[in-house]
Structure formats: structure tokens, C-alpha cells
Structure 1
Amino acid sequence: MPVTSVHQDPEALTMTVVADFAAPLERLWDAYADPRQLERFWGPPTYPATFTRHDMYVGGRSAYAMTGPEGDVSRGYWEFLDVKAPFSFEVRDGFAHADGTPNNDLPSMRMTFAFEATPGGSRLTTTTYFASMAELEQLVGMGMEEGMRQAMGQIDDVLADLHTFAADLPAAAQVLSDTQVRVARVIRGSVQQVWDAHHDPKLLQQWLLGPDGWSMPTCETGTEVGQTYRYEWRQDDGGATFGSTGEVLEIAAPHRAVTSERMYGDGIPDDAPATTNELTLTPTDGGTLLSLVITYPDAQTRDIVLGTGMVGGMETSYERLERTVLAG
């Protein structure tokens, strides 16, 4: 059991949990920075979490849902107040409604996570700050301490799983809900380099091509909220042509961009449904974790698109990004 101590301080209105791990500091940090890993332990074993958003930068936000054995769902959010990788981060942790908005009927807490190297690996000290003694007693009474013990008891298995999250793995899709899919991959480059490669037209035209035999003659990007973008691809042999267009909904360079997307062109119906794409870039060991959460109108559309080989095409493009843009 990695938890070595739990201390409640009624005068300071804090609860401090110390846990030790037989893994390097950077490996432990990455477990919290990567939503694929974080959701494997953030929550007790009977209430596993799913993170639909995880923006680990100052001003960023996370959204998660923990689902119980009877299908009951508890939702929460983090607001990142400070991030000093790989040594500490601070969040406002609170409960959320089904639509993701804060549930102010329940208390929120300030939490700090401090990481340090030890002779045997690494240590994590998590301190929770409560607004009042009543809130401390309420949340401890709801099982907060035991829940943290159970959650942290799962971290060792995640840290030991080096293969699943290795930097040399191809892009992979994970179904988050009936309408959402997350595609993730570690790109061998800095956050700024990967961001530029997604927003500089001259760079995009070098790698965002899918299978060999295609070019991208039209590439108009949007870099501010409200701007539109338009991409068009053409087969080199003069065959099919198709494109995508949409609007920039949110942007926080170089970490997060949210856009709408609608496909058009040969073989694509005029009423093809639009999606919302949330791109998040997070520095991790080995490069930059690219996480793309795609929201579809329904499960049927989600499955149809996944069945087209979309993820394989994305992997081909990401390989080209590393080989032709970032390698230079």
C-alpha cells in the first residue's frame, strides 16, 4: 500500500496524504499528466473515473465522471491554479452537474500535489485545504480519506505498466461515452513544435495527408475564436477530392484548441453531421501527449466514422509529422 501517512489538522483545516512509490519522479508525474493513466486510479476501484477533459496548464480545466457498480455517476472538475512540472500542481477540486457545470451545493477544495525524488523512487504529498471545519467533517464523512487510500492503492499497477503508455506506440482510440472518443498519441517533439505543426499552413501541408498519394492544396487555418478554417485534399492521380471546414470555438496556445468540423466532398452527404474536436497538448516523458476528444451527434455516427479506418489514417499522418517536420 503506497500511502504511508494521513494527517488531519483541524486548526489548519487540512488533510495531508503522503504516498511513496518505487518509480522515478518523472514516471509518477506522467501518471497524473496523462488522462489515460489518471483515470485508472483517480477514484476507488468500485468507482472508476473517465476523464473527458484534462488540460494540465494554469487556467486549464479537467472534467471527470466516476461510475459506480449500480450505474450511479459522480462528476467532478479540476481548475488548474498552478503547474510546475514535474514537481507540483495545484487545483480547485469540486463536484459537477451532469452538464459539467460546478455543483455549488457541495463544497469545493483547494488541493496541492507535491512530487519529490526519494532514494527508493518518488514521493507524492497531497494536501487538501477546506474552507471550514464543517466542510472537512462533511467530506471525510462522505468517505474522502478512504477513497484516496483506495485510489492511490491502484497507482503502483499503472506505474509498472510501461508498455501501454510507451512513447513509440501508434495512435489509439478509446471510447469515452456514447458520443465521445479520445484519440491519443505521444508525438516526439515539444509542445510548441506540435502546436505550430497544427496551426502553420506550410507545416500542415507537409504532414496532414493521411495515406500516401494525397496532397493538401488548400489549407486555411483559424487562430482566434470565431475564425473559420478550411482544408481540402486531392488524390495525386486526379481522383477524389474532399475537405473539412469549421470554426474555432476555444483556443489557449500552445495547449488547447476546440473546433467544430464538417466534412464535404466526393462521396460525403451534404447533410453529414458535424463534430466538435478538442485538441490538448501536454508535455510528457518522450515528447508531447496529443489528446483529441471528438464529440459525435450519436453513437451510430461515432461507430460509422471509427469503422472507416480514421485512426489508422491519423497514425500515418502523425508518423509523417515526426519524420518530415519535427525531425528537421
Structure 2
Amino acid sequence: MKSNLLMNFTVDKESSTVNVKREFNAPLSDVWSAWTEAEILDQWWAPAPWKARTKSMEFNEGGRRLYAMVGPEGEEHWAIADFTSITPKTNFKYLDAFCDSEGNLNTEFPRSNWNVNFSEQGDSTFVDIAIKHKNLEDLEQIIAMGFKEGFTIAMEGLDKIFEERTK
């Protein structure tokens, strides 16, 4: 089922930034929880048929989420989110990177700076994300790896969670 909720995905090559604006049919508090609590993140953060599995998460400034995206064959791709700023139910920022299962950076891949904003409008919650890369080459590498397609599928997974809650 194709979602009729807003999903804008734009690439600003001048600033090496991906901008995503996504609408969710859920209250702000539920959407905030889905983006900030490991138990819920693990249900949608990886694009199906992949699953996310959080090893550890401290959602506070200076805290970190260490997690794996686990494929259908059991293959694991580890990543970290280092939280740099949190304004409850409004915004959080983090540095994203690929790593090993202990959280050691994989320097073959670029880090990106995520700025995630939340706002409520009527019955919908909008999540506005700016993902800044160091340079255009890093941005193009992530796009070539299928970021847009994967992230779109993950967003649809989150829609399903909200749909099940309203049944």
C-alpha cells in the first residue's frame, strides 16, 4: 500500500545536505518516542526485510546509540549515533557513522550530521530532517548506496506501527 502521507526528499549539492520532510499520522509524543526509544526504533529503523537491533542506547547529550542492521541472512552492518543536542519533543541532533560491533568507527565511510525536527499540525506530526555531509563526494556515496530507497521503506515501516496502534 502506497502512503499518501507527505514525503519530500531533496538533495542540496551546494551544501552537501539531504533534506527529508515526512508526515506521520500520529501525535507528536508517539512520533518522538518512535525516534528516540530503542525498543520502537528497532521495529522500523532498518528497511524491511532488514531489522535493526540496538546493543546500547543512552538518549542524552553526549550519549550514543550502538546498533546493527541485520539482514535476512543474518549479516550485520553496525552503526552509531552520537547525540550532540536534545530539545525534548522538538529537536535532536547526532553524528551518524558506520562502525564495528564495539562502536569503533569505520573510516572508509563518511560520517553525517543529522538534525531532526518535530512539529505537530492538526492530526499529523511532521519530521524535518537535514543530513549534512562533509562534502559532495560523501553525499553521493551514501545516495549510491541506496539511502533514499532504504529510508523510504523504513518510513513506511514506521507508518505500519502507527496504523496498528489506531486499530
Q: Spell out the pairing of 1:54-69 with structure 2 (5 A cutoff).
A: 54-69=57-72
Distance 1:10 1:86 in 2: 29
Q: Of residues 111, 116, 121 in structure 1, which corresponds to 2:119?
A: 116
Q: Spell out the pairing of 1:92-107 with structure 2 (5 A cutoff).
A: 92-107=95-110
**Counterpart in 2 of 1:193?**
none
**Counterpart in 1 of 2:159?**
156
Distance 2:138 2:49 in 1: 24
**Counterpart in 2 of 1:140?**
143
Deviations 1:210-230 (A, max 9, x none): xxxxxxxxxxxxxxxxxxxxx
Aligned-pair identity (%): 26
Deviation at 1:83, TM superposition (A): 0.4
Deviation at 1:26, TM superposition (A): 0.9
Deviation at 1:3, TM superposition (A): 4.8
Deviation at 1:88, TM superposition (A): 0.7
* Contact residue 7 and residue 15 of structure 1 kept, 8 A: yes
* Contact residue 111 and residue 126 of structure 1 kept, 8 A: yes
Does the residue aligned with 2:43 lie in a helix, a strand or coil? coil
Cα 1:33–1:98 shift into 2, 3 Å: closer
1:12 has 2:41 as partner = no
Deviation at 1:162, TM superposition (A): 4.0
1:23 has 2:38 as partner = no
Deviation at 1:27, TM superposition (A): 1.0
Distance 1:104 1:151 in 2: 25
One-letter amino acid of the counterpart of residue 142, structure 1: M
One-letter amino acid of the counterpart of residue 77, structure 1: I
Cα RMSD, aligned residues only? 1.4
Larger RCO: 1 or 2 (CA < 8 Å, sep 6+): 2
Deviations 1:83-139 (A, max 9, x none): 001011000000011322111121110001100001232100111001011001111
**Counterpart in 1 of 2:43?**
40
Q: After TM superposition, what 4+ stretches of structure 1 lie above 2 angstroms from structure 2? A: 159-163
**Counterpart in 2 of 1:82?**
85
Cα 1:3–1:151 shift into 2, 3 Å: farther
Distance 1:30 1:52 in 2: 18
* Contact residue 3 and residue 153 of structure 1 kept, 8 A: no
**Counterpart in 2 of 1:270?**
none
Count of paired positions: 163
Distance 1:84 1:13 in 2: 25
Q: Spell out the pairing of 1:146-295 with structure 2 (5 A cutoff).
A: 146-162=149-165
Deviation at 1:152, TM superposition (A): 0.6
* Contact residue 3 and residue 17 of structure 1 kept, 8 A: no
The higher radius of gyration belongs to 1
Consecutive unaligned residues of structure 1, counting only runs of 5 or more, are: 164-328
Deviations 1:260-311 (A, max 9, x none): xxxxxxxxxxxxxxxxxxxxxxxxxxxxxxxxxxxxxxxxxxxxxxxxxxxx
One-letter amino acid of the counterpart of residue 19, structure 1: R
Does the residue aligned with 1:153 lie in a helix, a strand or coil? helix
Cα 1:113–1:29 shift into 2, 3 Å: same
Deviation at 1:21, TM superposition (A): 1.1
Does the residue aligned with 1:39 lie in a helix, a strand or coil? helix
One-letter amino acid of the counterpart of residue 81, structure 2: W
